[in-house]
Amino acid sequence: MINTESIQALQRASFGPHSIRPAYDSYCFSRIPATICQLMGAGPLACSAPLPSAATAGIKRPRNVILLFFDAFGYQMLQRSRHVPSVSNFFQRLEYDGILSAISSQFPSTTAAHVTTIQSGLPVAEHGVYEWYIYHSGLQRMVAPVLCSCTNTDEGSKKLTPDKFLPDSPFHDTLSRAGIEVWSVLNEAYAHSPYNRYLGRKSRIFPYSNLEAGFNAVADRIIAGGPSAYFLFYSDIYDYTCHRFGPAAEETANAADSFFSALQKNLIERLPAHSDTAIIITADHGQTAVDPSRIHYLDEEMPELLSSIMKLSDGTLMAPAGSPRDFFLHIHPDHVAQIIETLTARYGEIADICSTAQLVEQGFWGKIVDSSRILSNLGNVVVLPKPGESIFWSGKSGQFRVNYNGNHGGLSRDEMESLFGIMTL
């Protein structure tokens, strides 16, 4: 069935004609780890609460849980893909045998924030990895956390030690204490990257060469028996294709078909009836269509802005942070009001510009428990382009320019509405 309570919750989180706030207090991605702990009888997760009971109503405690993390396949992306037979067949069965809920992303609606949450169990406010590019106060560097490297400095190729800025995993600890095996099933291109090795160090990492191999490996483990197990199965095929071709492109629909066809043939059809396995599908975010020829690069269009941006100890600018859909600026404190006014005058028709403090006060990161993890890393001015618009930073050699036809990070429904579907096989 479709969980209408969840749809109403996201409607209450709406503001403006096209945007929603994160629903941290009810239907939000950040609550998935605690939901899995509760579902598998592993006990409570201290750092988060589970999704409301309606999201898992009638689902009995399973022996195994497979979490399909299908990057960028948000709620609106599902609606666009209903015409694809493999997608339609999967969700028709899920809605008949299980429950489909709409959930919100965290803010920003980015992969870095959500993969870190799903592996650690911590909300973005507690783990602090809020975007692809961030300033890290502890390291006093501009970094790309997922790449474990510095950015925009002479140390650009310097690799960072993950334990200096990535969190522990109370989620994996909670499952393991309950005797549940934890598996991270990831594409071989990045399964053993420093980022994934660190966040998945308390799990069994299985690198797959293609979707078929990955799904077959999960099926083999379940059929063979053994301890109760939780599998994170992550795929970025849809996100990659959506970035390249756009959300409405035929190529993007084909990427969805590839995933769900492989899932059906190599996992669902292989598992015996009454395998005592729950399948959950979710996404970190959706995407909105953008035009790469219309991106505004502030360092090129407003060079006078550079004198107001704070610098690192080595003299390099603290930029960029965020993405073209959620651009955070580290402005000298006494220039903040002036910069907001100047940016609004120039870009106010295509973006909302405000102080980050306003978003913190309005709960865009929920309840902030450990301020050192998020507040000290955030810029003090945020630029949030409206749907279809992009504003970012080029860099001295153009290294931060992007050529996407689809993107995410902002607050539009297309980006912020995700899903949580569950059924038992």
pLDDT, one tens digit per residue, over 313-328 is 889 999 999 999 999 9
Q: What is the CA radius of gyration of the chain?
A: 21
**Does some domain include residue 147?**
no
Task: Please report, for the domain that includes residue 358, its CATH number.
Answer: 3.30.1360.180
First-residue to last-residue Cα distance in the chain: 16
pLDDT, one tens digit per residue, over 122-142 is 999 999 999 999 999 888 899
Same domain, 259 and 318: no
**Does some domain include residue 368?**
yes
**Does some domain include residue 272?**
yes
Does the pLDDT at position 153 exceed 60? no
Q: Which residue has the tokens 């969980």?
A: 3
**Does some domain include residue 203?**
yes
**Does some domain include residue 393?**
yes
C-alpha 251/C-alpha 245 separation (Å) is 7
Q: Residue 224: give the domain boundaries.
A: 4-122+166-288+412-424
**Does some domain include residue 139?**
no
Considering the entire predicted model, what is its pTM?
0.96
What lies within 8 Å, CB to CB, of 128 at 6+ separation is 134, 136, 165, 167, 372, 373, 374, 377
Number of domains in the chain: 2
* Stretch (H or E) spanning 186: strand 181-187
pLDDT, one tens digit per residue, over 53-83 is 999 999 999 999 999 999 999 999 999 999 9
**Does some domain include residue 156?**
no
Same domain, 230 and 85: yes
C-alpha 217/C-alpha 185 separation (Å) is 9
| Inter-residue contact 381 to 321 (CB < 8 Å) | no
Same domain, 118 and 255: yes
Same domain, 244 and 361: no
C-alpha 329/C-alpha 339 separation (Å) is 10
C-alpha 332/C-alpha 193 separation (Å) is 35
Same domain, 231 and 363: no
Same domain, 100 and 216: yes
Does the pLDDT at position 224 exceed 70? yes
| Cα distances (angstroms) measured from residue 384 to each of 134, 255, 308 | 16, 28, 19
